[in-house]
């Protein structure tokens, strides 16, 4: 839907407005690069559809007159192109955010866009691994490396995900200057938010073991984790080795690198950790995200609350 011809159909005024909004998201709201890329793609697709749907480029005045029928037509075509309800809901959210800003700037009523309902879908909660399964998976990964240092590298990465709750992008974003690992790491996560992540001795030792075996010289500004040829290690390599390990162990497809981070949260909660602390360690903006992330039921939440609340 957002091919070159359709994109060219968007009016210069609409393209400029979109870019100004994206700049606003970056400067004032600290939106991450990946978020901005997704916003740009989603809103561009919508504007391109509206242009084609109405037979020509739509200036800002025409965009202010979007109808409920236009929104339904866009959603129907998007679903017809094979886009699932979850992805369509994300696209609609981006379009609404853009229109809310555009309406405030241009002084029109965006009701037709903002009142459009997102399709219903069931949220998929990440599944944690049992403690024994996580340990077995890390042991299995160590034996799969094409060289001892590669196995040690993969163990170090997964240990950081499980032991420190890092996202895979955060672990692979560490630099040579971060080693030897300190007692706490200052991690810049989504949206440029900074948090402190305590480093367990097991994680520190795993990284040290990898560095002792790694044949590539460590540079302060270079990546801590190296690919076989010496470049920066990408997430695909870790995902691939973990997929192989879970097949050997008979684990479900949900046993991904992200599941290791989820297991970190769940195992902390099971050990009596409070949700607010886990929220801070994970870098979640809201507590509700942590509640969904850890997949705790209401009874479990109340048990934690009653034990931790000073007035309990």
Tell me the fold of 4-114. DNA polymerase; domain 1 (1.10.150)
Terminal CA-to-CA distance of the chain, rounded, Å?
56
Answer yes or no: are the C-beta atoms of 217 and 178 closer than 8 Å: no
How many Å apart are CA 259 and CA 238, to the nearest integer? 13
Whether pLDDT at 16 is above 80: yes
SS3 state of residue 276: helix
Whether pLDDT at 290 is above 90: no
Answer yes or no: are the C-beta atoms of 207 and 176 closer than 8 Å: no
pLDDT in tens, 53-106: 888 777 788 888 889 999 999 999 999 998 888 888 889 999 999 999 999 999
Given 195, 246, 261, 262, which residue is catalytic? 261
pLDDT in tens, 272-289: 555 555 555 555 445 455
How many Å apart are CA 306 and CA 300, to the nearest integer? 10
Given 15, 96, 190, 300, which residue is catalytic? 190
pLDDT in tens, 219-250: 999 999 999 999 999 999 999 988 888 888 88
Per domain, the residue ranges of the chain are: 4-114, 131-308
The owner of tokens 């340990």 is 135
Q: Which two tokens stand for residue 231?
A: 């470049």
Give residue 305's pLDDT.
Answer: 56
Q: Which two tokens stand for residue 302?
A: 């109340």
Residue 53 annotated as catalytic: no
Identify the helix (H) or strand (E) that includes residue 197: strand 194-198
Confidence band of 2 (pLDDT split at 50, 70, 90): very low
Residue 190 annotated as catalytic: yes
We find that the CATH architecture of domain 131-308 is Orthogonal Bundle (1.10)
Q: Which pTM value belongs to this model?
A: 0.55
Given 40, 216, 258, 300, which residue is catalytic? 258
Given 91, 167, 226, 267, which residue is catalytic? 167
Whether pLDDT at 4 is above 50: no
Lowest mean pLDDT among 60-64, 174-178, 251-255, 282-286: 282-286
Residue 167 annotated as catalytic: yes
pLDDT in tens, 94-128: 999 999 999 999 999 989 999 998 877 655 555 77
pLDDT in tens, 126-155: 577 777 888 888 888 888 888 999 999 999
Identify the helix (H) or strand (E) that includes residue 204: helix 201-213
Answer yes or no: are the C-beta atoms of 133 and 249 closer than 8 Å: yes
Given 153, 246, 267, 284, which residue is catalytic? 284
Sequence-distant (6+) residues with CB within 8 A of 162 are 134, 138, 260, 261, 263, 264
Residue 293 annotated as catalytic: yes
Whether pLDDT at 185 is above 70: yes
């Amino acid at each position: 839907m957002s091919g070159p011809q359709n994109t060219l159909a968007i009016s210069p005024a609409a393209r400029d407005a979109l870019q100004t909004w994206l700049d606003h998201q970056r400067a004032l709201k600290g939106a991450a690069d990946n978020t901005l890329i997704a916003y740009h793609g989603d809103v561009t697709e919508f504007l391109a559809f509206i242009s084609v749907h109405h037979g020509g480029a739509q200036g800002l005045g025409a965009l202010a007159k979007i109808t409920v029928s236009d929104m339904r037509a866009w959603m129907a075509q998007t679903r017809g192109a094979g886009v699932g309800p979850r992805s369509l809901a994300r696209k609609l959210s981006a379009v609404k955010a853009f229109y809310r800003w555009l309406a405030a700037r241009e002084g029109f009523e965006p009701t037709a866009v903002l009142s459009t309902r997102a399709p219903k879908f069931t949220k998929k909660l990440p599944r944690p691994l049992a403690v024994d399964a996580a340990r077995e998976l890390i042991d299995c990964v160590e034996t799969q490396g094409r060289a001892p240092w590669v196995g040690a590298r993969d163990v170090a990465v997964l240990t950081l995900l499980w032991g420190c709750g890092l996202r895979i992008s955060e672990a692979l974003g560490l630099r040579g200057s971060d080693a030897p690992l300190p007692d706490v790491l200052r991690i810049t996560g989504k949206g440029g938010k900074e948090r402190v992540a305590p480093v367990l001795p097991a994680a520190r030792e795993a990284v040290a073991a990898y560095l002792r075996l790694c044949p590539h010289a460590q540079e302060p500004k270079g990546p801590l984790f190296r690919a076989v040829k010496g470049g920066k290690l990408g997430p695909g390599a870790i995902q691939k080795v973990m997929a192989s390990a879970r097949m050997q162990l008979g684990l479900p497809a949900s046993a991904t690198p992200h599941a290791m981070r989820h297991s970190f949260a769940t195992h902390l909660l099971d050990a009596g950790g409070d949700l607010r602390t886990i929220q801070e360690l994970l870098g979640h903006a809201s507590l509700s995200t942590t509640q969904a992330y850890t997949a705790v039921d209401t009874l479990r939440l109340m048990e934690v609350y009653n034990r931790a609340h000073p007035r309990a």
